[in-house]
Amino acid sequence: MVAKEQITTLSDGLQVLAPAKINLTLLIAGKRPDGFHEIETIMAKVDLFDEVLIQPGEKAGIELLCKGPYRAPQGKENLAYKACDILLRNSRSQANLKITLTKNIPAGSGLGSASSDAAATLIGVNKYLGFDLPKPKLAEVAPALGSDVAFFLGGPLAFCTGKGEKIKKLTENFNFSTLLLLPNVSASTKEVYANYNHNPAIYRNLSAQINSHLEKNRIDLASKMCANMLETSCFSLYKELFDLKAKVESLGIVPLCLSGSGSAMFSIIEDTEDKKVSQNRHKLLEKTGCESIIVSNNGW
């Protein structure tokens, strides 16, 4: 893995990388009084990035442009726009900014791209305008933007609870590579959660195993469980994902895990499998039509 810096200073601005994440595990503890679900998840950043370019604005206020291979909202509904807006308002700044968002991570994939874009924008605008707010101060506005934003302000590996906003950083090194499948399916997080049927017994069993692994700093063993309690809900809504997993696993790529609420799936690669997995990528595309890439854990 070639290490990249998150922030690059340019002659006319600042570029900030916004990494994707995968959920190495994802458990649902139950439904909260506020209607959201209580989760327990191990999240890890990977070296697949959106790019946030911050430059002086040519128009009053915030100008947001989106480009790249994947679609994103262009206006005020974009989380990068919202992150910039809330930071400017909280800092009582009248700055005019142009933000160019390059989308290399598909939306509706369970890879957290919008939340990562928001976090990268907070980090970038904070530095570009010299606010010098510490990360804990930036984290105060994260819940208003999304449950995963707080994770992307820290990381690169954490055990997240609550709605995902309560972060316990994991300091144990867990270096990995993974084959990441990017199906041409945009899964609705809202619909997957709404369709979810809770099983307390399954939760208690998986939670006990995962916490035991964490106590021993064996994140590798937790990841091998391939535990995602949203998988059944996601696959019942998107049968093509269920069929895709079956086809891929028939090629010997196992276990294949769902990230977040879908649609992306991943398989951790053992060191001895690098050549085999690279060969299987071509077979996978031929047999299923699904694009895949090999990514590694991110360092920050």
List residues with catalytic annotation: 21, 148
Torsion of CA 210, 211, 213, 214, to 10 degrees: 120
- Residue 44 has φ and ψ, to the nearest 5°, of -135, 135
Amino acid at 233: S
Name the residue with tokens 């160019």: 100
Q: Are 27 and 62 in contact (CB under 8 A)?
A: no
For residues 220 and 144, what is the distance between their CA atoms, to the nearest angstrom? 33
Quote the distance between the C-alpha of residue 94 and its chain's center.
31
Count of beta carbons in the 10 Å neighbourhood of residue 49: 22
For residues 188 and 262, what is the distance between their CA atoms, to the nearest angstrom? 8
